[in-house]
Chain A
């Protein structure tokens, strides 16, 4: 009897599963931002002069910029002086060479998160560059990747080991002045991932990074740079979980992808930051700039994202289709429940002739949530015979949520073909009854219908992520019907 009561209690109190904090001493800067803070970050990271100059330039640009207000989002103004811009685990100076040297507390945290760092990573054949707060703790599979000539390391390490690549490519896709959040990130980013795949190399494994926010009041400013040189191929997986928090936390990441001639980059994300509680308190503010540059002919960049977390999502993974016959793809599932708000979509900028892009966006809203798709398809005068296909579907659960679609098209070449399809539907009572009449519980029926709705996107995800994504849908929409 007691255990049954406990079960019920657990069920009722089941909250965000990854909501906990690990108490590792952090070396944290006091809140606030000025040039000294930036100098400090650059100094503790032992960066070369060009990096400091680059950061300072970004900071000066940022000071004259305004936070964008065009998105369909309601949020309180953010006090950027109340944020601490640097936090690192204490034992930074003696960075571990292997897992055995890693702080056991940290490993415990990874364990709770179900991160396959130990055997699981090995078995799955996935290299993990795990970011804990702002400093990379350990990188696995480096040797195997090194054999193939692939560089996969933390951003800080790349700055030290491969400054020439950083100097050549950093900011060439997302310049410092690109937007308010990208400028801030450029000034204060502390770490992230770096990938370089040399000419003609097919990366021997899926690359995966797990992000995690930990210390209180510490904004996360990740910087990712992936370069696929001529004829190479790489698939990168990014997944996030965050501990439960009461106050809002800012996350402003920048991801830059560069695909040279005949190269292909596949970038997959499952985003599950803390979304706030059922009354809309807390949750992560996620302002992300992700952009890929198809620089070479016949190059291809494919974004697949499953956005389930965060109180606020502001994110438009985009492709600049510069090379002739280059291909851009965007597959997205954005699910919002309770008081979550998402304004997400993509930009496909067609510059080269014969360029093609595909946009498949699935938005799911439940509770009081607001979900907006915002997309731009731009055909430049040089984009002879370019094509775009856009499909935007929205699924509503209940009658207090909202779905919005803002497709923008700028066609400057008469030979271009642009197609746009959009649907909005509700989970029909008839569908639910049909499934229940076959013996499925209401919850299972909803999950099945939602997963069916998302199928076109889920099948673009690497296998191990597809399963996770389905589970994530189910957890995110718990209690959304009934």
Chain B
């Protein structure tokens, strides 16, 4: 088991958003969480990543056999938990490669590996950039500085490809992408599926799932998973809408 979430309750500014959520993700599995606006999808992602204003009030999260909730955000990241942000922030003046190298070395250090040397790093990074169809100039630009919406999302998947996490949580990575960009992003994710790495895709739309085939689909409503199924469930959602599915789930 990569991650085991049991009876998770989480609040933001005193308001409970996640209300008893259970989810288990095994190695190599791709899970999709779908749900209407305000159901708690992004709160779940931010809570798992350890954002400070998201308070866990009950429940447990076991990540690779250890208590995830006891770790700081950066410790979680170094333990291989990656969050692809819905709204990646800009960090002016800090180049993409500079941050990535620092991040990769932090992760390698946590694994007990030596720092990667610059030549090897650049070779590695260029290869990943090619995969994401990113121009070389992209590497030296400031982190997300002046990037278009699509570029920011591609950059997230690019970072994931470089950091090679054990669990990648992708928060609405498909939102705001045109069909070509969506394909590039999906290809980037699919290339990272190796039977070990686990994915949690958070999305509004079934469209993404045409390109990244999930093993399981969950419907989140009012802070809980109300239905789980296979890819079929996503198609049903598309046909009947959330209202229909939620009504059937009671």
In the complex the two chains form, is A437's CB within 8 Å of B93's CB? no
A442 to B77 CA separation, bound complex (whole angstroms): 12
Report if A448-B102 is in contact (Cβ < 8 Å); known contacts: A428-B89, A439-B107, A439-B163: yes
A442 to B106 CA separation, bound complex (whole angstroms): 12
In the complex the two chains form, is A436's CB within 8 Å of B74's CB? yes
A440 to B78 CA separation, bound complex (whole angstroms): 8
Chain B contacts for A110, CB-based, 8 A: none
In the complex the two chains form, is A456's CB within 8 Å of B93's CB? yes
In the complex the two chains form, is B77's CB within 8 Å of A438's CB? yes
In the complex the two chains form, is B110's CB within 8 Å of A439's CB? yes
Which residue of chain A has its CB nearest to the CB of B144? A434
> Which range holds the interface residue count of chain B?
20 to 34
A354 to B110 CA separation, bound complex (whole angstroms): 57
A438 to B93 CA separation, bound complex (whole angstroms): 17
Asked if A391 is at the interface (CB within 8 A of a chain B CB), the reply is no
In the complex the two chains form, is A439's CB within 8 Å of B94's CB? no
In the complex the two chains form, is A438's CB within 8 Å of B103's CB? yes
Which residues, 42 to 80 on B, are CB-close (under 8 Å) to A?
Answer: 49-53, 72-74, 76-78
In the complex the two chains form, is B89's CB within 8 Å of A437's CB? no
In the complex the two chains form, is A451's CB within 8 Å of B73's CB? no
Interface string of A434-476 (1 = CB under 8 A from B): 1111111110110011011111100000000000000000000
Asked if B179 is at the interface (CB within 8 A of a chain A CB), the reply is no
Which residue of chain B has its CB nearest to the CB of A444? B102
A318 to B110 CA separation, bound complex (whole angstroms): 48
A261 to B49 CA separation, bound complex (whole angstroms): 60
Chain B contacts for A442, CB-based, 8 A: 74
Asked if A20 is at the interface (CB within 8 A of a chain B CB), the reply is no
Interface string of A370-393 (1 = CB under 8 A from B): 000000000000000000000000
Asked if B85 is at the interface (CB within 8 A of a chain A CB), the reply is yes
In the complex the two chains form, is B74's CB within 8 Å of A452's CB? no
Minimum CB–CB distance from A456 to chain B (whole Å) comes to: 7
In the complex the two chains form, is B85's CB within 8 Å of A434's CB? yes
Asked if A10 is at the interface (CB within 8 A of a chain B CB), the reply is no
Chain B contacts for A435, CB-based, 8 A: 91, 99
In the complex the two chains form, is A433's CB within 8 Å of B52's CB? yes
Minimum CB–CB distance from A451 to chain B (whole Å) comes to: 7
Report if A434-B89 is in contact (Cβ < 8 Å); known contacts: A439-B107, A440-B106, A444-B102: yes
In the complex the two chains form, is A455's CB within 8 Å of B99's CB? no
In the complex the two chains form, is A448's CB within 8 Å of B110's CB? no
A435 to B91 CA separation, bound complex (whole angstroms): 9
Report if A438-B51 is in contact (Cβ < 8 Å); known contacts: A428-B89, A452-B92, A454-B93: no
Which residue of chain A has its CB nearest to the CB of B77? A439
Asked if B217 is at the interface (CB within 8 A of a chain A CB), the reply is no
A386 to B235 CA separation, bound complex (whole angstroms): 67
Interface string of B80-115 (1 = CB under 8 A from A): 001101001101111000111011001100100000
Which residue of chain A has its CB nearest to the CB of B106? A439
Chain B contacts for A430, CB-based, 8 A: 89
Which residues, 200 to 229 on B, are CB-close (under 8 Å) to A?
Answer: none
Minimum CB–CB distance from B69 to chain A (whole Å) comes to: 16
Asked if B173 is at the interface (CB within 8 A of a chain A CB), the reply is no
Which residue of chain A has its CB nearest to the CB of B82? A437
Q: Which residue in A431, A439, A449, A455 is a CB contact (below 8 Å) of B74?
A: A439
Report if A448-B89 is in contact (Cβ < 8 Å); known contacts: A433-B51, A437-B73, A439-B78: no
Q: Which residue in A439, A441, A444, A453 is a CB contact (below 8 Å) of B93?
A: A453
Interface centre among A430, A440, A451 (most CB of B within 10 A): A440
Asked if B142 is at the interface (CB within 8 A of a chain A CB), the reply is yes
Minimum CB–CB distance from B116 to chain A (whole Å) comes to: 13
In the complex the two chains form, is A438's CB within 8 Å of B159's CB? yes
Minimum CB–CB distance from B90 to chain A (whole Å) comes to: 8
In the complex the two chains form, is B85's CB within 8 Å of A441's CB? no
Chain A contacts for B142, CB-based, 8 A: 452
Question: B residues near A, CB below 8 A?
Answer: 49-53, 72-74, 76-78, 82-83, 85, 88-89, 91-94, 98-100, 102-103, 106-107, 110, 142-143, 159, 163
Known A-B contacts: A429-B53, A449-B91, A452-B143. Give 17 more (CB < 8 A).
A429-B52, A433-B49, A433-B73, A435-B99, A436-B77, A437-B50, A437-B74, A437-B85, A438-B163, A439-B74, A439-B77, A439-B78, A440-B102, A440-B103, A452-B142, A453-B93, A456-B93
Show 26 residue pairs from A and B whose CB-CB distance is below 8 angstroms, ordered by the A residue: A428-B89, A429-B52, A431-B89, A434-B85, A434-B88, A434-B89, A435-B91, A436-B73, A437-B83, A438-B99, A438-B102, A438-B106, A438-B163, A439-B103, A439-B106, A439-B107, A439-B110, A440-B99, A440-B102, A440-B106, A441-B74, A442-B74, A444-B106, A448-B98, A452-B92, A452-B94
The 3 closest A-B pairs by CB, nearest first: A452-B93, A452-B94, A455-B93
